[in-house]
Chain A
Amino acid sequence: DAKTTQPPSMDCAEGRAANLPCNHSTISGNEYVYWYRQIHSQGPQYIIHGLKNNETNEMASLIITEDRKSSTLILPHATLRDTAVYYCIVSYDRGSTLGRLYFGRGTQLTVWP
């Protein structure tokens, strides 16, 4: 079951930073926050993940609040190609061998020229 809450849609001007929020108030201590995105008519694409420290890679930055109840995905310089549905997912393994991902409806980010 989805344990995250995201706004259904957001927009952003090209070249500006896109900040996508996610609430996960019931997150457990060993659960990670994952972000994926899905460009129209394509399969989802992994972006970034984190536990409690802020993370950055070539695609984005992930800011997790100190109490870990919310996080923000930051695309520092959004382009038209970043228009997509962004999914925030919390997940961990309960000693089993499988990591499960539960995709909710995500946030539709539209980047406009």
Chain B
Amino acid sequence: NAGVTQTPKFRVLKTGQSMTLLCAQDMNHEYMYWYRQDPGMGLRLIHYSVGEGTTAKGEVPDGYNVSRLKKQNFLLGLESAAPSQTSVYFCASSYSAGGWLAKNIQYFGAGTRLSVL
């Protein structure tokens, strides 16, 4: 009963390095999301996906890319990390079936803590 799993849990990067964060869900959800959370702040949506092979920009997409090649996986990439991308990253997923209401019940992973030096 894993739910939403994020890897890695922690990472330290140097400015300019690249990395990929992996999110996997086992609930057969159509929708997946990537958020970032800075200290003392709420979550902000980076990118999201409404199905396999589709992605879209959220509130703060600059500096990030995403891919959804398989329904259960949603990848977040940083091509050239910057100190401003130091944050905690959360992945979430939700249903699309059962009416639109179900889409707003999102299930979150435990987060990835990223530091960019």
List residues of B whose CB falls within 8 A of some A CB: 4, 31, 35, 40-45, 48, 50, 56, 90, 92, 94, 96, 100-101, 103-111
Segment of A20-28, A61-69, A70-78, A95-103 engaged in the interface with chain B: A95-103
Chain B proximity mask over A28-53: 1 for CB below 8 Å, otherwise 0? 00001010000001111110010000
What are 26 A-B pairs with beta-carbon distances under 8 A?
A2-B42, A32-B104, A42-B110, A43-B92, A43-B108, A43-B109, A44-B43, A44-B108, A46-B106, A46-B107, A49-B105, A91-B104, A93-B103, A97-B100, A98-B31, A98-B48, A99-B100, A99-B101, A99-B103, A100-B45, A101-B104, A101-B106, A103-B43, A104-B42, A105-B40, A105-B42
Complex: chain A residue closest to B90, CB-CB: A43
Question: Contact: B41 with A105, CB < 8 Å?
Answer: yes
- Other A-B pairs beyond A41-B111, A99-B103, 14, CB < 8 Å: A42-B111, A43-B4, A43-B90, A43-B108, A44-B92, A44-B106, A46-B107, A49-B101, A49-B105, A97-B100, A99-B100, A100-B45, A103-B35, A105-B41
For the complex, give the distance between the alpha carbons of A104 and B42 in Å: 5
Residues of A within 8 A of B107 (CB): 46
- The A/B interface has a contact count, at CB < 8 Å, of 61
Residues of A within 8 A of B90 (CB): 43-44
Residues of A within 8 A of B50 (CB): 97-98
A-side interface residues, number (CB < 8 Å): 24
How far does the Cβ of A99 sit from chain B's closest Cβ, in whole Å?
3
Complex: chain A residue closest to B43, CB-CB: A103
Residues of B within 8 A of A104 (CB): 42
Residues of A within 8 A of B4 (CB): 43
Complex: chain A residue closest to B6, CB-CB: A43
Residues of B within 8 A of A44 (CB): 43, 90, 92, 106, 108
